[in-house]
Amino acid sequence: MAKQNIFDNETFFSEYQKLREREVNANNLFEIPTLFSLLPDLKGKRVLDLGCGSGERCMDYVKRGASKVTGIDISEKMLAVAKSENSDEKITYLNMPMEDLGSLEGEYDVVISSLALHYVEDYPGVVKNVYRLLCEGGIFLFSQEHPLSTCYSGNGDRWTRDENGMKIHANIADYCVERRNDSTWFVEGIQRYHRMFKTVINTLADNGFRIVKIDEPYPTEELVKKYPEYYDLYHKPDFLFVKAAKNTVAV
């Protein structure tokens, strides 16, 4: 199966870094706070970060008490930043795509992935290996682009707007057709995999996970007053969060 490594594209890497450096962005306002709110107690825990990128979250996990953090990423450019800016004796960075988790050994208490799984074709394979690597009762927490977003094929306007340009509703089509969508984001050929909500959840259940919590963050009224451009999240959330536990009892 193809393993996408768009972050080692120089143009994409540069533009993505500029985006993340902006103080006001969806990651800072919604994704990171929600991720932190769902984290279990990490004191003394062994953590595996799938798609760790520049390692900021790995450092956060150490600060929250993790005894060992392993961050894997397919991008050499991202890992170079991680080793330069977010290194610690408790953190190990590995240049490895998630699809190759089968070669990783060891046991972890918590496996976390932030906005990476929608780039991976073999989602069932990743889930199966996460289950293998987790200890009994271990937690798998991940965020991904919401299925209402991944079903967008990039053809035409994503939104229907009124005469003033205000977004009235999202344009959704072929939600039930699971597929790879190629789109342009800084560069052409970005591959995202659309899976229905039931596929995301049932794949976890079928592999022995128990769903603990699901979240779909959206702004408060106060936040929309401050940043009105995020009003569209009332129509369609950007992110889906799933927190699951490795079952200790067969179902």
CA-only gyration radius of the chain, Å: 18
Could you report the per-residue pLDDT of 151-202, keeping only the tens digit for each?
987 777 889 999 999 999 999 989 999 999 887 655 566 888 999 999 999 9
176 falls within a domain: no
249, exposed or middle or buried, with CB in 10 Å at 0-12, 13-18, 19+? exposed
Task: Give the residue numbers spanning the domain of 95.
Answer: 24-147+197-246
Rounded Cα–Cα distance for residues 192 and 180 (Å): 6
pTM: 0.91
251 falls within a domain: no
- What's the number of domains the chain is made of? 1
79 falls within a domain: yes
Could you report the per-residue pLDDT of 219-238, keeping only the tens digit for each?
999 999 999 999 999 999 99
Residue 124 belongs to a domain with what CATH number? 3.40.50.150
Residue with tokens 């995020």: 230
139 falls within a domain: yes
- How far the first Cα of the chain sits from its last, in Å, is 31
32 falls within a domain: yes
